[in-house]
Structure 1
Amino acid sequence: MQHYKLLITLPVVLGLAACANSGANYQPVVDGPVGPNYNADLAQCQQLAASQGALDSNAGGKAAAGAGVAAATTAVFNNEGNNVRDAAAVGALAGLTASAIDQNSKKEAIVRNCMSKRGYNVVG
């Protein structure tokens, strides 16, 4: 049974690690000409976004909510052996994944806003 838990947990953890700075590497679509400082400006804006953590400040709450909902649902519908504990762990991972996805969206927004403030016509 331990191998099954590892097979479920490992891809989620690796996925979170891979996504840690994917939002910070965002390259916005710019309408119009770009100047000679574009690459330097983009690098600085991406660095600003990367300085934010991999998880947002609500990560603990999302993990707890995911764990609680999954555990409660399992307790009601399939309460056998360690199912409730396992469901709580999977729910917590789901909450952390949701937090990481939200944080990546925020990092993309940081890059877009930063480039807009530097005078680029960011359209996407």
Structure 2
Amino acid sequence: MLRFKVLAAVPLLCLLPACENSGSKYTPIIDGAVGPNYSNDLAYCQALASQQGTFSNNTAATAATGAAAAGGTTAVLNNKGTNVRDAALVGAVAGVAVGALQQQQNKESIIKNCMRGRGYRVVG
């Protein structure tokens, strides 16, 4: 039962970085002075990025790949009862976490490109 509780905490730990300055809440680093429209431009770009979902279209495939890789490796190397099932679960959770993190990076790219399109020199 302890193992299940630990596994349940993994997705929460992986999503913690999404709370601060990432994804659709990302604030890019601008080189140079910002004009009076900066706040409005940033809000528009963040709203545009937030229209993207939490997960990308590839998240399910990433989860399935993680489950298959972890389950298959465990079946070959250490096939003892529920080890394969547990490994597949961990692989699927890792795949979902990777998919969510990739989507957060996509949102940051949307904001950067949007701000560049409005004339800002985005450096990070």
TM-score (norm 2): 0.90
Distance in 2 (alpha carbons) for counterparts of 1:107 and 1:117: 15
* 1:66 alignment partner AA: G
Report if the CA contact (8 A) 1:20-1:100 is conserved.
no
Q: CA deviation at 1:16?
A: 4.8
Report if the CA contact (8 A) 2:15-2:97 is conserved.
no
Q: CA deviation at 1:3?
A: 2.6
* 1:9 alignment partner AA: A
Partner of 1:120, secondary structure, is coil
Report if the CA contact (8 A) 1:20-1:104 is conserved.
no
- 1:68 maps onto 2:68 in alignment: yes
Q: CA deviation at 1:17?
A: 4.6
Q: CA deviation at 1:41?
A: 0.8
Q: CA deviation at 1:15?
A: 3.1
TM-score (norm 1): 0.90
Q: How many residues align?
A: 122
Percent identical residues: 49
Q: CA deviation at 1:64?
A: 0.4
Distance in 1 (alpha carbons) for counterparts of 2:90 and 2:15: 17
- In structure 2, stretches of 5+ residues that fail to align are none
Within-5 A mapping of 1:1-124: 2-10=1-9, 12-18=10-16, 19=18, 22-124=22-124
Distance in 2 (alpha carbons) for counterparts of 1:89 and 1:8: 9
Partner of 1:24, secondary structure, is helix
Distance in 2 (alpha carbons) for counterparts of 1:70 and 1:13: 17
Distance in 1 (alpha carbons) for counterparts of 2:78 and 2:61: 25
- In structure 1, stretches of 5+ residues that fail to align are none
